[in-house]
Amino acid sequence: MHDRHSRQELFQPIGKEGQRKIRSKHVLLIGAGALGSANAEVLTRAGIGRLTIIDRDYVEASNLQRQQLYTEEDVLEKLPKAAAAYKRLHAIDSSVEIRPIIGDANIEMLQDLVGDVDLIIDATDNFETRMMINDISQKYQLPWIYGACVGSFGMSFTILPGKTPCLNCLLQAIPMQGMTCDTNGIIGPNVQMVIAHQTAEALKILVEDWDAVRTSFVSFDVWRNQYSTMKMGKAKRATCLSCGENPTYPYLDVENHTKTTVLCGRDTVQVRPPKVQNLVLSELAEKLKHLGYEVKGNPYLVSVEWEENRLVIFNDGRALIHGTKDLTQAKAIYQRILG
């Protein structure tokens, strides 16, 4: 299929030389949900040489509304998303080298993988993993593309170590709420908008058209017809512990990550955030009730029914996840509810 990428090669900023570069590159994609599956498909169709996909989850019926690689058959088989993505992507272009990793992205895994990676794409669903990606990016001088979407709101930013502010800098300038798709919902067109920004930036980086890379932070609301870009050059901080003059890469320190512990004899996992929170439990309870969850509470805790599990959330952000001894599952449930 020698003409597979002919239309892409006709696009002057890519051309045959750019196509050759795309074919020689390795992208690490973290997450294979809505953003991840769409990013993976675009990159595969574009002719990426190697694609490594990390995801800890399996395909559920609620995914099919927006996660474009998956089918009802995947749901019935409860296929891990990374495996289901590999199956579909291999059918699209069998010449692309795809490595699916079924697991939770952690510090050790990422540090082992990034040796020959050219670009990292964020398609995860929580800021703890994103901050870890950010420090990996800065430590190993790898570009990465941040993307997030919830409801009808989406955003994206391209981070080039040594040139742009990092995500740690960005969070000081643009406070971000802990909303998730499980608590605020999401619509498909929003996913596609974020994907368009992420994959366009990815192609620019892969063909090494650095002058074309967008250095502004873009955000939009596809339902309310809002679109904005913000120049972020002044957000870069010399004192930033991730990208400043004396970086310590704090998010590669295991002490700054969510802690999980199986409670002896109770089929329960305790999840504790890296830093003590000060949750307003009454507001949290009302929000979750409004979203349709079965919620009970008192001045000391909020109890939430979550499918086959029950969460008991305390003021300090600590939670007990009843009905499981699986640490990864408990952590995922916690992040779905509390962001």
pLDDT of residue 265: 63
pLDDT of residue 78: 83
pLDDT of residue 247: 94
259 burial type by CB count under 10 A (0-12 exposed, 13-18 middle, 19+ buried): middle
For residue 3 the two structure tokens come to: 């003409």
CATH code for the structural domain at 6-252: 3.40.50.720
pLDDT of residue 178: 60
CATH class assigned to 258-338: alpha beta
Backbone torsions φ then ψ of 311, nearest 5 degrees: -105, 135
Of 26, 31, 180, 27, nearest to 103 by C-alpha is 31
Backbone torsions φ then ψ of 18, nearest 5 degrees: -65, -40
Where along the chain do the CATH 3.40.50.720 domains lie? 6-252
Distances (CA, A) of 232 to 153, 157, 244: 19, 10, 15
Where along the chain do the CATH 3.30.310.10 domains lie? 258-338
CB-based contact 119:206 (threshold 8 Å) = yes
Enter the pTM of the model.
0.81
pLDDT of residue 128: 82
pLDDT of residue 206: 98
Q: Flag residues of the chain having pLDDT under 70.
A: 175-180, 182-183, 264-265, 339
From its phi and psi, is residue 47 left (phi > 0), alpha (psi between -120 and 50) or beta?
left
Distances (CA, A) of 187 to 98, 103, 237, 264: 28, 26, 35, 41
Mean pLDDT of the chain: 90
CB-based contact 311:337 (threshold 8 Å) = yes
Residues 250, 255: Cα–Cα separation, whole Å = 9
